[in-house]
């Protein structure tokens, strides 16, 4: 009977207990650095010992753990008492139930994130044995590692992992697809949707869905194993924006939630429209965000104006910029309405109804300041009152067309004094004639006073002055 020896080795601060001629207990150790392998491809390291200590003889990439060596696995390696380590990090998507299966001669161990899942660590000569385990892999990226040692004889090892695709076991929904992109062709009026590969290992298909903007109902466009699709929808009015989303389905029949909704706008939109009125020039300046979509071509600016007795949208011009200044606009205190349309490189322009739309983002309702003064001066009458002069301003313009809200009366000493207000007052709108009266207290000193009146509107505009009228206040006699 051969005697077993125990050897303790130290590598990188990790103690590895090695049993010669029997089972080996190996502490987990990272695969040597220096080799970069493609995604989901194993990094393989060869060691001259069964303790995976020291530097590997060689490190390379291996697409699968499936080897059979009858002697030395490569030059510089012994035929017996060597170890090979495979390691790979991959994204398991949503995870779920998997089967890990291994077949090997001598020692083999399988790890998931450093946790041992399969342990077959005994000498078998040339006879291989196998083992499989069912386990649940969490979602996301995980590291798989296979440690294989050969003490003597042939060295055989084969390892694989696969999802359990039966609906009986797999209740995990796939992850929603990501990287959804859209491209709209203004010539064919078709949209091509593409997306990134799903990380699921048991993916069965993708489904593409579409819904028009403003609707909550999705329509399935296609089910495919490809990762792009050109929607054959040809809309007679290709101004309608559509939302697209992609869903993934696995072999167990589980369906993911939808990807992030991606909107396709055959026509770029004007998301907001603002404007200002310049009192000095009388012009309106309109501004909106500049569109950068590849199908954008130009803007058309319109004003809602009175044409032949009715209001209509009248084009002011086109531009590729995000601002527009109109010609002089009458400061009439009324609302002005403006609209900006977009035309794509296929020649399609935003639909423009003949009606105003208070909710449209590409439409602006702008209040223009009132710069028009009341047209005519009021009448002014003077008389006396207890302690002064009675001054009355009046205007007989019919109530429905009055363009003033009140009267102002001023007084000065005849020919020399400074005008001073003695009344600023609104009027009672019920009488046929609008008027305002004041009893102006002036001293009874025999001097002559002049009065004038004007009307004003709500915006602070003044009418012309009335004719100046004079009145002499008799001097009070002393007893």
pTM here is 0.68
Please give the order of strands across the beta sheet that includes 181-185.
181-185, 190-194, 228-231
Give the whole-angstrom CA distance, residue 386 versus residue 190. 88
> Is it true that 5-163 and 274-367 share their CATH fold?
no
Determine the Cα angle at 219 with ends 215 and 221, to 5°.
Answer: 140
Q: What percent of the chain has pLDDT over 90?
A: 85
First to last CA, the chain: 159
Question: How far, in whole angstroms, is CA 204 from its chain's centroid?
Answer: 31
CATH node for 274-367: 2.60.40.10
Regarding the domain delimited by 5-163, which CATH topology (the fold level of the hierarchy) does it fall under?
Jelly Rolls (2.60.120)
pLDDT tens for 421-460 read 999 999 999 999 999 999 999 988 889 999 999 999 999 9
Determine the Cα angle at 212 with ends 211 and 216, to 5°.
Answer: 60
Domain ranges of the chain: 5-163, 181-264, 274-367, 379-472
CB atoms within 10 A of CB 273: 20
pLDDT tens for 110-146 read 999 999 999 999 999 899 999 999 999 999 999 999 9
Q: pLDDT category, 209, cuts 50, 70, 90?
A: very high
pLDDT at 1 over 80: no
pLDDT tens for 140-168 read 999 999 999 999 999 999 999 999 999 99
Q: Which pLDDT score, from 0 to 100, does residue 27 have?
A: 40
Give the whole-angstrom CA distance, residue 360 versus residue 100. 59
Give the whole-angstrom CA distance, residue 304 versus residue 318. 16
Domain 181-264 has CATH 2.60.40.420: no
Which token pair is 169? Answer: 């076991």
Domain 379-472 has CATH 2.60.40.10: yes
Determine the Cα angle at 441 with ends 440 and 444, to 5°.
Answer: 125
- For every residue of 331-376, DSSP letters joined together read -BS-EEEEEEEEEETTS-B----SS--TT-TTEEEEEPPB-PPPSS
Give the whole-angstrom CA distance, residue 475 versus residue 309. 62
Give the whole-angstrom CA distance, residue 315 versus residue 300. 7
Q: Which pLDDT score, from 0 to 100, does residue 28 have?
A: 41
pLDDT at 314 over 90: yes
pLDDT at 18 over 50: no
> Minimal CA–CA distance to 294: which of 416, 183, 129?
183
Q: What is the residue whose two structure tokens read 């109902």? A: 217
Which carries the bigger pLDDT value, residue 34 or residue 282? Answer: 282
């Amino acid at each position: 009977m051969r005697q077993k020896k125990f050897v303790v080795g130290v590598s990188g601060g990790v103690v590895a207990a090695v049993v010669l001629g029997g089972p080996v207990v190996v502490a987990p150790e990272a695969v040597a650095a220096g080799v970069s392998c493609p995604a989901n491809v194993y990094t393989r390291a060869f060691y001259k010992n069964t303790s995976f200590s020291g530097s590997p003889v060689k490190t390379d990439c291996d697409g699968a753990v499936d080897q059979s060596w009858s002697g030395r696995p490569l030059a510089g390696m012994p035929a017996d008492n060597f170890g090979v380590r495979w390691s790979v990090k991959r994204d398991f998507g949503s995870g779920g139930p998997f089967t890990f299966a291994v077949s090997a001669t001598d020692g083999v161990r399988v790890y998931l994130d450093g946790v041992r899942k399969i342990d077959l660590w005994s000498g078998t000569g040339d006879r291989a044995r196998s083992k499989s385990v069912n386990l649940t892999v969490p979602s996301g990226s995980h590291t798989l590692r296979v440690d294989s040692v050969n003490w003597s004889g042939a060295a055989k090892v084969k390892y694989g992992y696969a999802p359990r695709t039966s609906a009986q076991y797999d209740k995990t929904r796939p992850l929603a697809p990501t990287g959804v992109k859209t491209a709209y062709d203004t010539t064919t009026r078709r949209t091509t949707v593409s997306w990134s590969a799903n990380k699921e290992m048991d993916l069965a298909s993708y489904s593409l869905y579409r819904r028009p903007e403003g609707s909550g109902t999705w329509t399935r466009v296609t089910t495919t194993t490809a990762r792009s699709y050109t929607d054959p929808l040809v809309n007679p009015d290709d101004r309608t924006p559509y939302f697209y989303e992609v869903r993934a389905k696995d072999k167990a029949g589980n369906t993911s939630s939808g990807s992030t909704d991606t909107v396709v706008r055959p026509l770029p939109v004007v998301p907001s429209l603002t404007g200002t009125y310049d009192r000095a020039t009388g012009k309106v300046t309109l501004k909106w965000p500049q569109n950068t979509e590849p199908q954008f071509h130009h803007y058309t600016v319109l004003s809602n104006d009175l044409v032949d007795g009715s209001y209509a949208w009248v084009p002011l011009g086109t531009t590729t910029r995000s601002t527009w200044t109109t010609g002089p606009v009458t400061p009439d205190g009324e609302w002005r309405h403006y609209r900006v349309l977009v035309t794509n490189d296929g020649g399609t322009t935003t639909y423009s109804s003949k009606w105003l739309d208070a909710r449209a983002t590409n439409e602006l309702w702008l209040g223009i300041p009132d710069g028009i003064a009341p047209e005519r001066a009021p009448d002014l009458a003077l008389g006396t009152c207890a302690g002064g002069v009675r001054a009355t301003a009046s205007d007989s313009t019919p109530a429905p067309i009055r363009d003033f809200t009140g009267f102002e009366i001023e007084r000065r000493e005849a020919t020399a004094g400074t005008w001073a207000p003695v009344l600023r007052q609104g009027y009672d709108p019920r009488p046929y004639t609008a008027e305002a009266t004041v009893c102006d207290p002036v001293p009874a000193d025999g001097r002559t006073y002049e009065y004038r009146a004007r009307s004003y509107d709500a915006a602070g505009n003044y009418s012309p002055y009335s004719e100046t009228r004079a009145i002499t206040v008799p001097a009070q006699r002393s007893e």
